[in-house]
Amino acid sequence: MTKIYLPRETTALSLNVEEVISVIRKEASERSLAIEVIRNGSRGAAWLEPLLEMDYEGERIAYGPVRTTDVKGLFDANFLNAGEHKLKLGPIDEISWFKQQQRLTFQRSGKTEALSLEDYSEFDGFAGLKNALTLKSSDIIKTVLNSGLRGRGGAAFPTGIKWQTVADAEADCKYIVCNADEGDSGTFSDRLLMEGDPFCLIEGMLIAGLAVGAELGFIYLRSEYPLTKKILEEAITKARETGYLGSNILESDFNFDIRLHIGAGAYICGEETSLLESLEGKRGQIRFKPPLPALEGLHGKPTVVNNVITFASVPIILSKGANYYANFGQGKSFGTMPFQLSGNIKQGGLVELPFGLSLRELIENFGGGTHSGKPIGAVQIGGPLGAYFSGEQLDTTLDYENFSAAGGMLGHGGVVVFDDSIDYLDQASFAMEFCAIESCGKCTPCRIGSVRGVEVIDRIRNSKDQSDQDNQYELLEDLCDTLEDASLCAMGGLTPMPVRSAVKLHQLSTQGIVPETEQEEVQSNEP
């Protein structure tokens, strides 16, 4: 019986992995060969999906990307005995794309059967929870604090401090909320984690509950992820059946359960206060802060709201210790970050690395350059509210502080590459349009100003002379200032980031000169 691994994961699914499996089954049965198909998660190499692995003398040998039309040839080449074939990539651990990564949060994804508790436990699963159960609440929080872990959802707030605030709050009931709304374009790490290693998220939420004294958690999952929903449902059911969720977890006096809630296609519901409104069944309108959700969150109770990757980074911290985690990274950015490469890129996917690599290394070494083979026109980092960087700005190193010094933000780690056919004004206009579509409607600049922004950019494009154009640029500047100053949340407040950076690249490319007002800023962008 040969074990074959093929992911049950959205990207692989879109590349017909189910068809590939049925053809493999059919071919094997016709040849009277015994196989067992195991559904792992993805290892994140989207460019190799569907990535097939097989067990050969204790090693995992990879073939990919596999299409249905390759299957017969693979059998002819005796791939069940690691035979040679043009798709053979060799032992998975030797492939440099994987080997050069530092996988902590994604240590299991792709390696294990996603829904097997046996696999999970065998590869360090629940070790963090078991340790946490022997610690005082304050010591769990101290460990998280000392690890230097900061929120991976975008704002990079220290997780330990947030937990401390909730732990210190006096209340009859507290909640844990996992933000799985993952609305940022160019990001998919939450999805890969939930599909590939769902118990890791559950374990992270359990540890959070234990630390702050909460007995109920919610996962707010975006509706665009139907397969993720199925996998999470199955994982939660399994965890309940085996006593990892429910009462007296692992024979302790700790009780905890998780409910899954599905969003309804509103980007703004990724913002934590909008998300809480939505969880309560309301319109996802932003709440004024303070009060912080940590003090008055879901149904007015103290609530931890963290991103999927934040929770999923906690088990390894509790299992291997704060120092182990904190020793990765650079500056004030500790640990690792799952970067996500997409857009016009040859080798797209998820790459987990310690903070500190340069954007260029990430795009060239891992991404292999643009898909079209043309030069890079721009790279947008950190989702739709993140800045566009030019091909000349790629030496910025990937950590939170360096990125904000360079006028951008790392956000949730999305890196979207455009080749030189990019139309910068189109991108600036889209950023305004997106703000108009997704605005929660509370502030006028965000709701109306963004619509004006689209019109102004249109006029820049169609302006008849230089002075008309200069006027429109000035108008756009004013609009951006207003958005920044008068928005209640980062939706309106950060929209100027992609707009300004894209417009600047447009000016550079069309005029070759930088308007005076912007010269200083551009210079300070140099690393």
Ligand X SMILES: Cc1cc2nc3c(=O)[nH]c(=O)nc-3n(C[C@H](O)[C@H](O)[C@H](O)COP(=O)(O)O)c2cc1C
Residue (66 or 208) nearer to other proteins, CB: 66
CA distance 90 to 94: 7
CA distance 214 to 169: 11
The verdict on 494 binding ligand SF4 (CB under 6 A) reads no
CB 314 within 8 A of CB 160: no
Which residue's Cβ lies closest to ligand X? 151
Which one of residues 4, 6, 20, 129 is an interface residue with other proteins (CB under 8 A)? 20
Identify what 181 binds: other proteins, ligand X, ligand SF4, none; CB under 5 to 8 Å per kind. ligand X
Residue written as token pair 């019109």: 455
Sorted by sequence, the CB contacts under 8 Å of residue 16 that are 6+ apart come out as 50, 67, 68
The verdict on 488 binding ligand SF4 (CB under 6 A) reads yes
The verdict on 31 binding other proteins (CB under 8 A) reads no
The verdict on 430 binding other proteins (CB under 8 A) reads yes
From 79, 212, 168, 152, select the one nearest 350 (Cα to Cα). 152
CA distance 89 to 51: 10
H-run or E-run covering 510: helix 496-511
Bond before 290 cis per omega within 30 degrees: yes
Identify what 270 binds: other proteins, ligand SF4, ligand X, none; CB under 5 to 8 Å per kind. ligand X
Identify what 281 binds: ligand SF4, ligand X, other proteins, none; CB under 5 to 8 Å per kind. other proteins
Residue (394 or 486) nearer to ligand SF4, CB: 486
Residue 176 CA, chain-centre distance (Å), reads 19
Which one of residues 446, 456, 457, 503 is an interface residue with ligand SF4 (CB under 6 A)? 446
Residue 47 CA, chain-centre distance (Å), reads 17
Sorted by sequence, the CB contacts under 8 Å of residue 315 that are 6+ apart come out as 124, 125, 126, 127, 128, 129, 200, 203, 204, 207
Residues 137-156 that bind ligand X (CB under 6 A): 151-155
CB of 1 to other proteins, least distance (A): 26
The verdict on 452 binding ligand SF4 (CB under 6 A) reads no
Which one of residues 490, 508, 514, 522 is an interface residue with ligand X (CB under 6 A)? 490
CB of 157 to ligand X, least distance (A): 5
Residues 222-281 that bind ligand X (CB under 6 A): 268, 270-272
Sorted by sequence, the CB contacts under 8 Å of residue 1 that are 6+ apart come out as 34, 35, 36
Give me the residues that bind other proteins (CB under 8 A), please: 10-11, 13-16, 19-20, 46-47, 49, 67-69, 182-188, 191, 222-226, 261-267, 278-285, 340-345, 348-350, 371, 380, 384, 414, 416-419, 422, 426-427, 430, 434, 437-438
Q: Under the rule (CB under 6 A), what is the footprint of ligand X?
A: 151-155, 157, 179, 181-184, 268, 270-272, 305-307, 310, 489-491
